Structure 1
Amino acid sequence: MRFFSADQYVDRHYMNEREFHYRNALEEGNWSDWQQRFRQRLRDITGLEQLAKETDGLPLEAEIVETVQMDGYTREKGYIGTEPGLSIPFYLLLPSDGEGPYPLVLTPHGHSRRGKEIYVGNYETEQERSEGVDGDRDIALQAVQEGFATIAMDVRGFWEMGREEEYEQGKGNSCNPLQKRALMFGRTLIGERVHDMGRVIDYASTRPEIDSSRIVITGNSGGGTVSLFTAALDERIDICIPGSYFCTYRASLLAMDHCDCNFIPGLLQQGEMYDIVGLIAPRPFLAVNGERDEIYPSFGAREAYAHVERIYAAMGVADRCAIHFGDGGHRYYKEPVWPFVKRQLERLKR
């Protein structure tokens, strides 16, 4: 009996030339043209371009439903429209100290059942609190305590943006059914999530307390995915810090089982993950990975980062990219994040 060899299949196709390999820009010497064409192609294959046209002119219809004074900051809960009949639930955290308008940190979450709640430290159980704190997953709370305005939203497929069917069954997310439906309409969950982040930025620009000219995006795992693609496709993002995601696709998505929400039809005909980071350059980029991450292996992250270094060096901004490996597995590592953010924001002010 003979079986299908997925490894041989991947190896054969992976060796094909990618249309937007960054070496093309190096050889041609025109980064701007390469970025413009590649960004448009990604907008097309993710469905983001189609979604933008479908929602052009859609009002935000922002609604704040709760305001709570916390220790050192105010927490608002609200909703904004992202497409007809669908709203994004979010928390806005504003520091009580300092003087606004404050730079903004967006914190898309990963594959945790309660989504944004973990990132703002709104824990349901002591076990959830322990896991959140020990894994540095209270990212929105970290950001506001560092003096930033922060928006933590539910990512499409989770918690208030998940389906009732999965919630009632006790499942952690609705990624599989939502991705299948998105694909049937020429979309992807990644494209829809990037669109949602854009709507959040649109809303942030209406708030006088927020300096929407200085925007950071960082999240862990699936939140790292959203962070990277949002920064690549939305140039309003100034600093991108994906946690526990940066790698090569060959060493991660193609090497083991991953959630359906990670996949974009035809992506590897266009570029590898480090090529996508080329759409972020010359804006600051920090990859935060775990040395013992089993699903985004450190050897793949190192291989990908060697390419990113070449891209940033070729643009003359080698000091704007970095990678950090925490001594652990698949989790967030806050140690390098906020010093990097403050250093790069200070450079932006000059």
Structure 2
Amino acid sequence: MWKRLQKVWGFYGAADDLAGIAGRGFVVGAEPLNTHWIAESREILYPQFKKWFDVPNPGKEYSNRRPVEDLLCVTPEIAKEHRPAHELAARLGAERTGRARESLAPMNADERRKRLRRDWGTMLGDVAPGKSSRNGDPLPAEMLGDVRVERLHLTTEPGIVVPTLLLVPPTPKGKLPPVVVAVSQHGKAEVLKQRTTDVASLLRAGVAVCLPDVRGTGETAPGNDRDRRSSATATAAGELMLGRTVLGGRVRDLRSVLIYLRTRADVDARRVALWGDTFAPANAADADLKVPYTAEKRPAQSEPLGGLLALLGALYEDDVRAVIARGGLSDYQSVLDTPFTYLPFDAVVPGVLTTGDLPDLAAAIAPRPLRLEALVDGTNRRVPADRLTRTCAPAVAAYKAAGQPARLLIEPTDAPPVADWLTAAFRD
């Protein structure tokens, strides 16, 4: 390389404008093995700077290292007078959520839904579904006992394919089975693995089950990593730069899948329930969350996509009869409780607190059956029962106002089997 560079500079008669220096070690890592960022390497440059730019050569670099205490910007005294940034953000968030709720209060249920649809659409980007279609030749259906199994590739927009598994149980002649659409960041394979008993119970009860892998989930995920340096985070950041969100695209996919189901003659897609789930472990209540990003073993990150999609799907689709959200995010306000957040970047919705919060989204679903179970906060810790009751107050009030308080089930931990509740919700 050095010889080639000398030759190129020689073409221009500028051999004296090329110089090389040699330190020790590598260009990554810290001293003493590597010298790329300490005074020893900088001092080697002084003769060249003198030669090229007539910069005086100090010979030896001045150094006066200061103790850490002298470098602190926020001293204990200043901290007493000024609040941390996350506390200021939390206060602003609470104020804006309060104003949004005040503006929603005088509206009737239909007006609130229209308002929330508009506001969430503005924040998420385009959520209007496309006309979904099968991609390529359909795969032949298979029989698993008396259950028909179809593997579908649904095109929801150019370049976006949603692999979907549809399980259709036998039903009496003249009747069509209702459908449960289950969504999770972990994908359909993990839903089948982790919720085998629930899926089997639904099928035995005569309920079809649809398992789509919306973009960036399951087999369409861009890898297993979900941290700040992952492809998933890079994609989410790119969408935000373009005025869109990954979550908005996933809402479009889900709504497109529902449109496809309505074209089928073997299921009753006018009776559909949304089941959002997660299999990410929650952090313990006493877990130490003050951990650097670069630590090898960091606290677990939540994966609230399933619950978010279930709530948003029900907001936009009136055909949704019931919703269950397991392990989802209780509210975005909780993300501001501490400076340490364990929420995936693709679940971030800029400006969300200006239109209310997730409990207001839940309130808009009333009086349809809604089950919120084992919700977590912004640190991915289970929300205690007392706080969960306070957080979900808008939803509780909406169901009472609709005369159906029993249709809202709020469980701070894992509750009874999903299948029984969903089956009962179709009969309600």
- Asked if structure 2 preserves the Cα contact closer than 8 Å seen for 1:220 and 1:243, the reply is yes
Q: Which residue of 2 aligns with 1:129?
A: none
Give the secondary-structure state (helix, strand or coil) at the position aligned to 1:93.
strand
Say if 2:107 is the partner of 1:32. no
Deviation of the 1:296 alpha carbon = 4.4
Return 5+ residue gaps in structure 2 as ranges: 1-71, 75-82, 279-304
Distance 1:185 1:312 in 2: 38
When residues 29 and 199 of structure 1 are mapped into structure 2, their CA distance, relative to the original with a 3 A threshold, is: closer
When residues 150 and 21 of structure 1 are mapped into structure 2, their CA distance, relative to the original with a 3 A threshold, is: same
- Asked if structure 2 preserves the Cα contact closer than 8 Å seen for 1:240 and 1:284, the reply is yes
Say if 2:343 is the partner of 1:258. yes
Q: Which residue of 2 aligns with 1:9?
A: 88
When residues 8 and 281 of structure 1 are mapped into structure 2, their CA distance, relative to the original with a 3 A threshold, is: same
Q: Which residue of 2 aligns with 1:215?
A: 272
- Asked if structure 2 preserves the Cα contact closer than 8 Å seen for 1:216 and 1:240, the reply is yes
Give the secondary-structure state (helix, strand or coil) at the position aligned to 1:230.
helix
Deviation of the 1:149 alpha carbon = 0.9
User: Aligned partner of 2:261: which letter?
Assistant: A
Deviation of the 1:248 alpha carbon = 2.4
Return 5+ residue gaps in structure 1 as ranges: 122-131, 327-332
Say if 2:164 is the partner of 1:83. no
Aligned residue pairs total 314
Say if 2:249 is the partner of 1:192. yes
- Asked if structure 2 preserves the Cα contact closer than 8 Å seen for 1:48 and 1:194, the reply is no
Distance 1:228 1:337 in 2: 16
**Greater strand share, 1 or 2?**
1
- Asked if structure 2 preserves the Cα contact closer than 8 Å seen for 1:233 and 1:279, the reply is no
Q: Which residue of 1 aligns with 2:123?
A: 45
State the 4+ residue runs in structure 1 displaced beyond 6 angstroms. Answer: 290-293
Mean Cα deviation higher: 231-240 or 200-209: 231-240
TM-score (structure 1 length as normaliser): 0.80
Which of residues 131, 147, 152 is equivalent to 2:206? 147
Structure 1 residues 44-84: Cα deviation after superposition (integer angstroms, max 9, x where no partner): 211134x55xx4xx552355324222134221111111111
Which of residues 126, 134, 154 is equivalent to 1:61? 134
- Asked if structure 1 preserves the Cα contact closer than 8 Å seen for 2:89 and 2:336, the reply is no
Q: Which residue of 1 aligns with 2:225?
A: 171
Say if 2:362 is the partner of 1:277. yes
Distance 1:149 1:220 in 2: 17
Q: Which residue of 2 aligns with 1:120?
A: 192
Distance 2:246 2:181 in 1: 18
- Asked if structure 2 preserves the Cα contact closer than 8 Å seen for 1:104 and 1:148, the reply is yes
Structure 1 residues 104-133: Cα deviation after superposition (integer angstroms, max 9, x where no partner): 1000013x3xx2112234xxxxxxxxxx2x
Q: Which residue of 2 aligns with 1:238?
A: 321
Q: Which residue of 2 aligns with 1:125?
A: none
Deviation of the 1:2 alpha carbon = 3.1
User: Aligned partner of 1:258: which letter?
Assistant: L
Structure possessing the higher relative contact order (Cα contacts under 8 Å, 6 or more residues apart) = 1
Distance 2:320 2:271 in 1: 8
State, as a whole percentage, how many aligned pairs show the same letter: 22
Distance 1:70 1:334 in 2: 29
- Asked if structure 1 preserves the Cα contact closer than 8 Å seen for 2:87 and 2:337, the reply is no
Deviation of the 1:143 alpha carbon = 3.1
